Amino acid sequence: MGNLINIIVEPVKVFKHIKEKDDWWIPFILLVVVTWIFLMISGPALARITAQQMAEMGVDREIPKFVEYIKYLGAPIGTLTMWLLMSVIIWFLGNSFGGDWDFTKALDLYAYSSVVQVLRTILTTVILLIRGIPNIMTFKDINVATGLNLLFSPENPRLYALFSGIEVFSIWQFVLIAYGVSEITGMPKKKAVWVSVITYLITLGFGVIFARKGMM
């Protein structure tokens, strides 16, 4: 459990740990639990906003109860799916740039680097509580601006997704990934930086491609 703290304060210790042991499931459990807490707190606002959007589209019916529980199931499934996808990309790029490591090590690295996103979710939850759930009127209100969207808030959903993706916590995470790739695979830091930068750009691309107007 100490590695969950060390990835923030002494990441090199975590990278050495990853070389010796595979335990990506520890940060996975942490992230899922924190996400569940966030969903429980933001749930009333999410349900109200969704109902309003459905009414605007002319859908006049109550949202089935089971839909509320699907979001809790989606947290672990969605997280694991994204982690596997991102780990495949990091692992493939790492090998392409001359690194020598197993896929599981890439998964461990991405998992521990995602502790940074746990901090972001906790920050978002605290700010929501300060604002007050009844004052949350749009999906956009639920997201705490920590990047370029703090300075620019374009109406175009894809442009907004791009600005939202260039933010402090994501950059922090991919800096950790760059250092981690270098430490774990033994490749030069410049090459490891390229692995991280390319992965980050792919992540931004996914965010832009799947951006939807209704999520703003």
What are the pLDDT digits (tens) for 177-204?
999 999 999 999 999 999 999 999 999 9
Q: What is the per-residue pLDDT across 24-77, written as a single tens digit (0 to 9) for each? A: 999 999 999 999 999 888 878 877 777 776 666 666 666 566 666 777 888 899
- Based on the structure, what is the number of domains in the chain? 1
Q: Does the structure show a pLDDT above 90 at 155?
A: no
Q: Residue 194: what pLDDT? A: 97
Q: Does the structure show a pLDDT above 80 at 174?
A: yes
Q: Residue 58: what pLDDT? A: 65
pTM score of the predicted model = 0.88
Average of per-residue pLDDT values in the chain? 87
Q: Residue 216: what pLDDT? A: 44
Q: What is the DSSP string of 5-63?
A: HHHHH-HHHHHHHHHH---THHHHHHHHHHHHHHHHHHHHHHHHHHHHHHHHTT--SPP
Q: Residue 80: what pLDDT? A: 95
Q: Does the structure show a pLDDT above 50 at 215?
A: no
- Cα separation, 8 vs 20, whole angstroms: 19
Full domain range(s) for residue 79: 2-215
Q: Does the structure show a pLDDT above 50 at 14?
A: yes
Mean pLDDT, residues 137-150 taken together: 79
User: How many Cβ atoms sit within 10 Å of the Cβ of residue 209?
Assistant: 9
